[in-house]
Structures are given as C-alpha cells and as structure tokens.
Structure 1
Amino acid sequence: MPSNDSVHTLYSDHHSWLKTWLRSQLGNAADAADLAQDTFVRLLQRQQPLRLNTPRAFLRTVARGLVIDHWRREELHRAYLEALAQLPEAQVPSVETRELLLELLERIARLLDGLKPKVRQAFLLAQCEGLGHQAIAERMGISLRSVERYVADALYHCYLLRYEDEH
C-alpha cells in the first residue's frame, strides 16, 4: 500500500499538471478538477506501493482510465435522456425515479466494464434479450460450452463486485 507521504508528494509535485492535462482532454475545468482528485483517491486506495520512475506517465495512465469511465457515463446519460424523450408524457418517470434509474444504469455499466467483450456480449444476450445458451452460441458463432463459460464468468464477476461493494 502506498504511503500517504508518497501520494502527498506526488500530489504536491504533479496535481496542477494533471488537472491541466485533464482539462485538455475534457474541455471542462470542473470535471478535470474532479477527475484529478479521483486519480489521487485511487492512488490512496491502491494495495501496491508506488515505485515511480515516470510519475506523470503513471498519473496519465490512471487518469485516462477515469476519463474513459467519465465518457462512458456521459454517453449512458445521453442515451438515457434520448430514450426518455421518446416516451409518451404520461409514461415519463418522475425526476426522483429518473435519478434512481440513471444511478442503477451506471452501476450496471461499472459491473460490465471489467468483462471481456465476448463475455459481456453473451451475458447481455442472456440477461437482456432472454436468449438461451444455444441461441447465443448460434448468434455469436461459438460453441455452447464457450457460452456457458462466458455467462458463468460474467455472473461470478458481478458477484465479486457486488460482494466488494458490501464490504
């Protein structure tokens, strides 16, 4: 686990640079400041000690992952709002319900982020489209055994993440 001193030094030496780099990526100072903070919070949560020869390259790598997550959330939010706009007015959920649904969608997206593409695709075909394993195998052009393994891997992945969230 990195010491607070090493993260503090990294923060003191590179926070301003990181925030500037993030602003160039995002075009938004507020989001850049948030993601810069999130980068250092992530470093404080690391289990491995920090041994950095190129601290800015390391920070850029960590921050780039957060930027990608940010863009995914933005795209998810945009798609959700577009879907809501298609609903008849009588079916549009309340503001509170919309926020809860968006939070749920973000949690689901985070659960699926760690999956390999084929595992994610098989899992979504099973869970969202209700396809059986044989139908998934045919659609994806893979063996039934592979589908079974992919779906099991996805379920196990989600279980582990949910278990981590509770503890």
Structure 2
Amino acid sequence: MTAISNQHARQVEQLYLENHSWLSMFIQKRLGCPEDTADMIHDTYMRIMVSGRLPEKQESRRFLTHIAKGLLVDKFRRKQLEKAYQEYLQDLPESHAPSAEQHAQMIESLVELDAMLHRLPAKVREALLLRQLDNLSYKEIAQRMNISVSSVEKYIAKGLQACLEAAFEDRV
C-alpha cells in the first residue's frame, strides 16, 4: 500500500463527514444489516484512500454510489459462490470435506476466478466456459455462439492467456 498524503487524508475525512449519514442510509436500504452496512462504508472509503482519487464536490454522492454499488455486487457474487460451494460440499463424503483453512482458501480462489472471468469480454468468457465447463468442441461452440471457428480459437486463446496471467500475477 502506498503512503497517503496528509492532504488526501483530510479530503477523504471531509468527504466522509459530509456523506456518511447519506451513504449509510443508501447501503442500509440495500443490505438491511447494520454490521454489514458499517463494513461496506469502511470498504468504500478504503477504496477511495487507496485509489488516491477524489470526486469533485458536486459529484461526491455519484462517486460514492458507484463505489458502493460495485462493493454490493462483489458481496452478492461472493455469497452466490459460497452458496454454490456449500451445495457442492454437501454431496461429498465427510472424509473428503475440506478443513476450515482449505474452505477459506477455496472461497478466495473462486472469488478471484470469478472476478477474472468478469473482466473478460462477454464472448471470450462465454467461449472459454463452453470449452472448459461444457467440454464443447470449437465447432460446437462456433455453432452455439453463431460465430466462426477461427473466432472461437481467438476467444479461447485470449481467455486462456488471461487465466495464465492471473495465475502468475501474484508470483511476480
């Protein structure tokens, strides 16, 4: 994390003081849980602190709304992934159940994979998932997506490249 200037910290504090109540109501209306709302407000301002960017005064609420909505989407996606993983685990024999640490690591990996996939263009993501999850041939994917086989090849190559970059990103 980079050092944050005193001036930037004071500006974020002012943004917080001016908008905390409003942001709290905005998030509370969507989450319904005071503890989750407090965490989301904290995460919103942490994103601002880390990014180093601040909105113009007249754009403050729009800026905060944009960040908070992104965090809400992330939270919703994470809950969906956790639910799907829990359903998968229910079908496993107890002897194959992961430890709490393995469970947490798997959830984090799934969240990272989901985020990486959602950064891909829609057609690249679709082609990659049809190939990797549905095990369709390039020809079948081309037919399903109504595109050429060469486009499928390009999309899958682009998707696999993104996966490779994501896998080695943390190792550099």
Corresponding residue to 2:46 among 27, 41, 44: 41
Counterpart mapping for 1:65-76 below 5 A: 65-76=70-81
User: Structure 2: any 5+ residue segments left out of the alignment?
Assistant: none
**1:48-75 superposed Cα distances (whole Å, 9 cap, x missing partner):** 5532423112211210111011001001
Give the Cα–Cα distance (whole angstroms) in 2 for the partners of residues 45 and 166 of structure 1: 22
The answer as to 2:129 corresponding to 1:124 is yes
Whether contact under 8 Å (2:9, 2:49) holds in the other structure is yes
Aligned to 1:134: 139
Aligned to 2:84: 79
Give the Cα–Cα distance (whole angstroms) in 2 for the partners of residues 51 and 156 of structure 1: 38
Aligned to 2:31: 26
Whether contact under 8 Å (2:23, 2:64) holds in the other structure is yes
How well do the aligned residues superpose, as a CA RMSD in angstroms? 2.6
User: Structure 1: any 5+ residue segments left out of the alignment?
Assistant: none
Aligned to 1:149: 154
**1:82-102 superposed Cα distances (whole Å, 9 cap, x missing partner):** 111122333322333222222
| TM-score, length basis structure 1 | 0.83
Give the Cα–Cα distance (whole angstroms) in 2 for the partners of residues 166 and 41 of structure 1: 25
Q: Percent identity?
A: 37
Count of residues in Structure 1 that have an aligned counterpart in Structure 2? 167
Give the Cα–Cα distance (whole angstroms) in 2 for the partners of residues 10 and 166 of structure 1: 36
Q: Which runs of 4+ in 1 moved over 6 A?
A: none
Give the Cα–Cα distance (whole angstroms) in 2 for the partners of residues 107 and 29 of structure 1: 27
